Structure 1
Amino acid sequence: MLKHIYRIIILIGIFIASILYFSRDIKEVVFDIDITTVMEETTLPLVTIKVSDNKINLLRAYSTNLNANTIREAVTPLDSEQTFEILINEEEYEIKKLNYELREFVGNDLIETDSISVFNEVDNVKAAKIKLDTRLEPGKEYACKITLITDESKKMYFYHRVKKYENAYVTEKLSFVMDFHNAIKDKDTAQKIIKNLETKKNADNSTLAYVNIHSSFELVTWGNIKPVFLTEIIPTVKEINPETGSVELDYIIEAEIAGVKELFRIKEFYRVRYTKDRMYLLNYERKMESIFDVNLASVSKSQFKLGISSDYEVPYLASADKKKLAFVRNRELWFYNLEVNELVKVFSFRQEDTDYIRDIYDQHDIRILNMDAEGNINFLVYGYMNRGQYEGRVGLLLYQYIRDENRIEEMVYIPIDESYQKLKENIGDLTYMNALDVFYLHLYNNIYSYNTITKQLSLLAENISNENVEFLKNLNHVVWQDNSDPRLSKRIKIMDLETGEIETIDTQSGYNIILMDKINSNLIYGLTAEEDITTLIDGKVIAPLNILEITTLDKKVLKKYSKAGYYITDVEVKDNIIELSRVRKENDNGRLVFPTVPKDYIMNQIKNEPTIIEVTTRVTEQALTEIYLTMPKGFVMNTIPKVSNTIHTVISDDPTVRLPKYENTETVYYPYVFGGIKGLYKESSEAIQIAGKSIGVVLNDRNQLVWERGVKASKSLLSKFDTMNWSASSNQSMENCLRLMLLYQGISVSLEQVNVNNQSAIDVLNMYSKHTPVRLTGITLEDALYFVSEGRPIIAMTNSRDAVLIYGYDAFNIMIIDPKLNKSMKMGIQDSTKLFEEAGNVFISYLRE
């Protein structure tokens, strides 16, 4: 009996011990499902280029093998020897081999490839000399990819452009830039560069955040601060040709402001011109941005100091009780708990033990998606990943910040096969995470939903451009036009992002519907009669609106606008005013034309959204204008907030979501200004206007160079037209101009083949031309003559029906062929400018392949 009792007692003991052991073990397993760690430090090597004893173009490593023509950040100028040197800062890797590829920038076709496995090494930097065997065409850009291979067969990729000239005077231009840069450090030394400035009395000299060639000498020479330069300054050549060059300097300085040391990110941009007599400074800009430091907070005023900056926009989100706050500054995400005065650096690529050079690479951004009552945050990081698990990749990372555990957890990773510069222009306003953990995204003209629980990706809409989508974040709704083509749009869709339910606004019979804009929480859309939609001779589609309506999300019409004989072509919302661009419809020799008429306006009762935090300024004698972030009214910051950093959770499941490859259905244009993309445009003219104002270039989405400021020759003549056997045998002036343009390309067509009665001139060129046609409608004659300078004739409309072909120009005249007169002739610049303006500045040419 006792034996059984002892056995029972022993079994019970074993059972209890097992429970205690396994429960403890289960707890450990649950805790260790994911690995928590701090973000890994940067590891990838850096590469610089050396040409003619000049060290230029600091290149960042990419971990993914992108097309060589994807990244357009720096250009390496080559002389007739076609050689350059690669300098490799290996960091933690042992580089054993270097491969290089030379490719066409347009089309990415491989031209040349080779390998190098023997390096020179000086001061822990490996060097490899590359000599290109392929004879490069002078002035043409080529894409160059450098692949470094380690002793463990890891590959890292670096991208730049090369451009050959017999002499681009690189040394002279770089010397001028660096002499100017060094001179302005000291006001006495800087006296020698005063002649290069174009100081204006009305220039804004109230801030160090933005300084240009028109600023005061005092401001250009750093005012009352004494910068200490913390990083090596390596010039980046952005654009180059024999006459001009554009160079950027990017670095970190330290300066003592009111007795306290502060850090600043500086970008200087130079555009210079070389002549035999002297160098000219055509453009100078310097941007200064304070690096956020919580220790600089103004406790007495309950403000965070943002310092010297041109960026007055602080993306933020507050909890419902207004006691928790998330905000983004310097591409870092911060969480501030006002109740306990604690600040958390939720996400940052900046390293604690920084070398600055890596940290200043700013090709990423952050969006705050939502915050719950507890302070948990969903946020999106997109662009180039400076460090961590995805170091060297471009993509989108959806994170969740779990406040109680002070950690961030990765939810979704979407890889992207191009640069941040293009990504930022192709990601729409719609990035949203709902309460059911469904993530919504508008990217590359497609709208997606991704259920992070079921891992299901859904395509909600395709071929919907940014201008045809309105995101009403505060109301948890997104609205889009069902087709970006106004000739096909019959419906507007309204989606509740929390429930997933979709309602529609359908057009009436005989009309198409166009989503125009939003104002407050209401939608603005218009109706266009199908019979009024027309394609102009230059290929542009006009869909004038007969009726404009302002409606609520529940489809209640608040305002209806319609005036007989007038049509609306564009809408712009300015505060509480809706500005309407209008036209009339006229028939001109069988073609519809739409002359502009005065604008009209709709007044709206504006609703001011209450702001939780405010950006204010202070002015001091030393730092001039500085920015401060003021906390919510009634809050008192008794001391400098306590600061902590998050840890990362590396999840065991692969979070990668690959989106279907996007095929663009229409050409778009990117203006490159000061080395970066400044917008995405459907019309080349809009991109050219942006690039023209800021001394830039325009490329399309095929990487074709469309237009470049400042390289047009003083005169040009396409002499082939003077020797070519041509004649205009009818009054079909546009058809004759098209035939002459194609004949110039070596293509013979009849007038019947190029008839534009039932098709546009662009359609004709798409059908027969060897090159990509481009509509330039809206640019000036001066800007259009760039194409003649580059060896391409221009078709220009003189009225709604007739055209001439421009094939030359000088300082006083243009040379044209007028088919109606069947002769070539000169025309004064002023007279022709006025004539083309009155005809709407309708120009057509083509691009160099």
Structure 2
Amino acid sequence: MRERSVKLTILKTVYAILVFVLALFVISKLSNGDNADMTAKMPSATLPVVTLINGDQEVNPMHGYLSDVDVNYQRGSVFPIGQDRTLKYKINTFGETVWNISFEVRSIDGKGLVENTSITDYVESSDAITGTIQIKDLITLGNEYVLVFVMETNSGKAKYYTRFVWTEDDSRYNLDKELSFVLGFSNATFNKTEAKEYSKYLESNSEGDNTTFSKVDIHSSFNQVTWGDLNITKHTTPDVYVTDIHGQTGSFELQYRVILKDSSVTKTYNVCEYFRVRFTSDRIYLLNYERTMDYIFDSGSYSIGSNTINLGISDPDIELVESSSGSTFAFVSQNRLYSFNHAENKLAYLFGFYDTDNDDIRTRWNRHVIKILNVDEAGNVKFAVAGYMNRGLHEGRVGIAVYDYNASLNSVEEEAFIESTRSAEILTSYIDELAYVSNSNIFYCMLDQNIYEIDLIDKESKSVVDDIGAGQYKISDSKRVIAWQSSDLKSLNVMNLNTRAVSEIEAEKGDFIILLGFMGEDLIYGVVHSDDVLNDQMGNPIYAMYSLRIVDVEGNVLENYSPDGVYITGITINDNQLKISRVVKNAEGTEYESTYDDQIMNTLEVHGGSNVVTVASVDVFEKIVQITTKNEIKTKQLRVLTPYQTLFEGDRNVVVDIERNPDSNPFYYVYDLDGDVRVYSDPSSAVLDAYDAPGIVLGDNNRYVWVKGNLSRSNQIMAITRNAESYDDMTSNSPVAVCLDLILQFNGTNRDVEGMLESGAGAMTILQSSLAEAKVLDLDKCPLSAMLYYVNQDIPVMALLNNGDAMLILGFNELNTVLLDPKTGQVYKYGMKDSEELFENNGNHFITYITED
């Protein structure tokens, strides 16, 4: 009996030990394991992808939207159709079922429904549906329209958007030849012998950076464009996007992956190529070429040294945020978020839509950004994902998802989702501008040029500052402090987003206050005597500041720069250096003249992070990017984690009410070759940006405001030329009045322009009040070559001169402009270079307009 009791005691002890060990194992897996199985993995993508067929080439992949979008902000790709108005398409279903397929044709602003037709005649296979549609004869030649594919899916009704234009002939703006050139150029870069045929299209010079493969362009050397000595092969077939196309020019984007071999190690890279070409009867011209190459960092096959995390050939502009001590940090590489915890020797892959072991176009579409909001000492990371949601709970929607990574549970939980009807590109541009979370768990972001706060606990939102983007505003480097200027220029408001406290800086009596920017967290502004405000030729005020002041976050004045007899007109901030643009008054005190610049150095030490992004030179690879860490990494004991997402009931959606009248408060959208968008409240800044980018400018109605290039060889507005020849007594009116009168007559309007000018109305006011169906553009400081876009559209451009006179630009050819001198009535040719010099010496003051239809 005693022996049996002993055996029973032993069995109970063994059982207790087993239970204890098992409990420890479970707790360990839940808190520190590779995966938090109490949660769920992000679901796979489900929506089909629609492409258009050009010959045997699929182009313009379209991704599905399950929520409503503002069509007038959906730009996407474009496709020219021929005279028969037919279009071939392919629905890549990936094995999913779709039904009730149809298409819509809408006006480019989305407001007008031109056609709504069911699609019933198609060929279906296990993973695709193909067919041809014909657009009804209800469209206008040369106009762009929005084409919407609509279908029912297992995830709901999905819509797919692209643009199309009906061309005058079946060359379809020479799409076939331009595509052949672009794809041929791209393929040839992998073979130096074949590439020699394309070397004549390069403009290799000192502007090209031949020290890195992360970005090459048309100015790079032949060797650089052809991948140098890298052992590289194209891994995937390019996704081809026609991003813009006109009669003379076309823009294209290629996305694919390459494999780079280094000894026995192979690494995968994302590659994007951007082309802008011009087609003529003689040849194709390569106007712009850019290529980016970025390593796909993979936590499963990472390259980590004793104090470095290797990110290979990449753009060094890597977002990295660390905790206050630097013991933990998070970084974003190719739209994938990672964190590293020194104390626990953990590398965690926190978020990303695509996997490295497959090439699913649905998950790797790059129309979203990840913003790191906060990293604390415990390794917790708060971050936001903004743009198009490729998969998961919000697949097929555009918005901002705020997440929290809990390091102890090794799980990611959604805190809020703010849905948007704007395009993914526009939304990401706003999030690039402002995304910040306060200590009290309030998330701040900019949407449609307003600043909103979202309470991540109560799931409520409200506007903080309305129409901030329509005026002058600045945001500090940390995004913690914002400042904006009152409309009367009498005060500045400064808000600390951590404390929600708003302070006001008021100008002294008789002065104006001008917001200039931030240097780090220090605010810079200038003050102007009202008597010193003079107008330029466009009637715009010049605020010449007699003093520049720098204040800290508490309002303490750190610098009061007040040069005697010299005025400040602007600043440029570069790290710790402040460059100051200055002017002086002329002898009569009626105008400002430029004088030499000055500068202020920030003497405060700028503290970099404990963990920093560095660039190293490595032989064949030229330059690689790496994170140099604060502490030594114990590579042999390193643990790699992949957290899952926490499941929850209901939703975490937050509604933000956005109201803006685009007629009274218009915005202008600059699209780069790479699809990036920047938003401006004035057309001059937008055109200048697009001119340098190069890019295009759109208005709120999705219509072109300005396009780079695409000029015919010559054009002249003959109707105004004839009107000028018959103008009654041109010399009796002022040159400005004559120019305005001729513009109005050209548009079928007659006004007493001379009388309106004498009563104090300006040129802009007269044109806007007289041309009801047009948007008048003040394009001050834009170059003459940019103005030729409007002349090419049969829209005159008015130039104001420093002596108060005005001229009209009515035409151009490759060598000359055609100008109207209103003092003589003469229409004459003037050399292009001489014209550029003439208008530049007079400040490049231009006024023109665009029609709304």
* TM-score, with length taken from structure 2: 0.88
Q: Secondary structure at the match of 1:652?
A: coil
Deviates more, 1:744-753 or 1:593-602: 593-602
One-letter code of the match for 1:705? Answer: Y
Shift of 1:292: 0.7
Q: Aligned residue for 2:151?
A: 148
Q: Give the Cα separation in 2 of the matches to 1:455 and 1:294.
A: 33
Query: Which of these residues, 808, 812, 818, is aligned with residue 809 of structure 1?
Result: 812
Secondary structure at the counterpart of residue 654 of structure 2? coil
1:188-215 deviations in whole A, cap 9, x for unaligned? 3334333433444774333222223333
Once residues 137 and 38 of structure 2 are traced to their aligned partners in structure 1, the CA distance between those partners, rounded to angstroms, is 50
Aligned match for 1:780, one of 779, 783, 806: 783
In structure 2, list runs of 5 or more residues that go unmatched: 1-30, 32-36
| RMSD of Structure 2 on Structure 1 (CA) | 2.9
Report SS of the residue matched to 2:223.
helix
In structure 2, the partner of 1:397 is: 401
* Structure 2 SS opposite 1:742: helix
2:279 is aligned with 1:289 = no
The answer on 1:357 being equivalent to 2:361 is yes
**Which of residues 372, 380, 384 is equivalent to 1:368?**
372
User: 1:119 touches 1:127 (CA, 8 Å); kept in 2?
Assistant: yes
Deviation at 1:35? Answer: 8.4
Aligned to 1:656: 653
1:242/1:755 Cα in 2 relative to 1: closer, same or farther (>3 Å)? same
The answer for the alignment partner of 2:316 in structure 1 is 312
| 1:307-365 CA distance string (max 9 Å, x none) | 011x2122222223432222222122211111232111111112365334233311111
Q: Tell me, yes or no, if structure 1 residue 432 matches structure 2 residue 436.
A: yes
The one-character-per-residue Cα deviations of 1:735-767 (angstroms, maximum 9, x if unpaired) are 221121111111122225642752332222221
Asked whether 1:223 is paired with 2:228, we answer: yes
Matched with 1:208 is 213
Paired residue type of 2:571? V
Q: Hey, what's the Cα distance between the residues in 2 that align with 1:343 and 1:357?
A: 27
Whether contact under 8 Å (1:539, 1:763) holds in the other structure is no
Secondary structure of the residue aligned to 2:199 is: helix
CA distance in 2, matches of 1:366, 1:208: 24
Match of 2:743 in 1: 741
Number of the residue aligned with 1:644: 641
Q: Secondary structure at the match of 1:479?
A: strand
Q: Indicate yes or no: 2:678 matched with 1:701.
A: no
What are the residue-to-residue correspondences of 1:173-322 with 2, within 5 Å?
173-200=178-205, 203-294=208-299, 297-309=302-314, 311-322=315-326
Give the whole-Å Cα distance in 2 for the aligned partners of 1:98 and 1:573: 54
Structure 1 segment 814-833 matched on structure 2, within 5 A:
814-833=817-836
Note the C-alpha offset of 1:550.
1.3
Aligned-pair distance for 1:586? 6.8
Alignment of 1:190-589 (within 5 A): 190-200=195-205, 203-294=208-299, 297-309=302-314, 311-351=315-355, 354-427=358-431, 429-465=433-469, 468-472=472-476, 477-483=480-486, 485=487, 488-530=488-530, 532-533=532-533, 536=536, 538=538, 540-563=540-563, 565-584=565-584
CA contact (8 A) 1:108 1:143 kept: no
When residues 211 and 393 of structure 1 are mapped into structure 2, their CA distance, relative to the original with a 3 A threshold, is same
Matched AA of 1:57: N
Cα distance in 2 for partners of 1:67, 1:300 equals 48
- CA distance in 2 between counterparts of 1:271 and 1:456 reads 45
Cα distance 1:201–1:592, how it changes in 2: closer, same or farther (>3 A)? closer
Cα pair 1:211 1:285 within 8 Å, conserved: yes
Task: Compare 703-712 and 351-360 and name the one that shifted more.
Answer: 351-360
1:763 to 752, 762, 765: 765
After superposition, the C-alpha distances for 1:408-458 in whole angstroms (9 at most, x for unaligned) are 111111111112221232336443323322222333332222333334423
CA displacement at 1:534 relative to structure 2: 6.2
Deviation at 1:718, TM superposition (A): 0.8
Contact 2:507 2:513 in 1 (8 A): yes
Contact 1:566 1:583 in 2 (8 A): yes
Match of 1:160 among 156, 159, 162: 162
With 197-206 and 122-131 compared, the bigger mean Cα shift is at: 197-206
**Greater displacement, 786-795 / 461-470:** 461-470
The correspondence of residues 581-730 of structure 1 with structure 2, limited to 5 A, is 581-584=581-584, 593-632=591-630, 634-639=631-636, 641-663=638-660, 664=662, 666-724=665-723, 725-727=726-728, 728=730, 730=732
Structure 1 position 44, deviation (Å): 0.7
**What are the ranges of 5 or more consecutive residues in structure 1 without an aligned counterpart?**
1-30
User: What letter is aligned with 1:80?
Assistant: Q
Is the CA contact 2:491–2:505 (under 8 Å) kept in the aligned structure 1?
yes
TM-score (norm. length: structure 1): 0.89
Secondary structure at the residue paired with 1:503? strand
User: How far apart are residue 53 of structure 1 and its match?
Assistant: 4.8
Name the structure 2 match of 1:3.
Answer: none
Distance 1:815 1:582, change over 3 A: same
Question: Secondary structure, in 3 states, of the residue corresponding to 1:427?
Answer: helix
| Aligned length in residues | 809
Matched-pair contact (CA < 8 Å) for 2:367–2:424: yes
Shift of 1:541: 4.6
- Pair 1:501–1:754, CA change in 2 (3 A): same
Quick one: percent identity of the two aligned structures? 31
TM-superposed CA distance for 1:791, in Å, is 0.9
Please state how far the C-alpha of 1:532 moved relative to its aligned partner.
4.9
Moved more, 447-456 or 389-398: 447-456
Change (3 A) 1:469 1:650: farther
Is the 1:575–1:606 Cα contact (8 Å) retained in structure 2? no
Q: 1:117 to 1:436 in 2, by over 3 A?
A: same
Once the two structures are overlaid, the 10-residue window that deviates more, 66-75 or 182-191, is 182-191
Give 1:716 deviation, angstroms. Answer: 0.9
In 1, are the aligned partners of 2:71 and 2:109 still within 8 Å (CA)? no
Distance 1:555 1:807 in 2: 53
Q: 1:130 to 1:566 in 2, by over 3 A?
A: farther
Q: Separation in 1 of the partners of 2:701 and 2:286?
A: 32
Deviations 1:41-73 (A, max 9, x none): 111100100245542111111222213332222
The alpha-carbon distance between structure 1 residues 757 and 836, as it changes in their structure 2 partners (threshold 3 A), is farther
Q: Which of 119, 124, 134 pairs up with 2:122? A: 119
CA contact (8 A) 1:537 1:759 kept: no
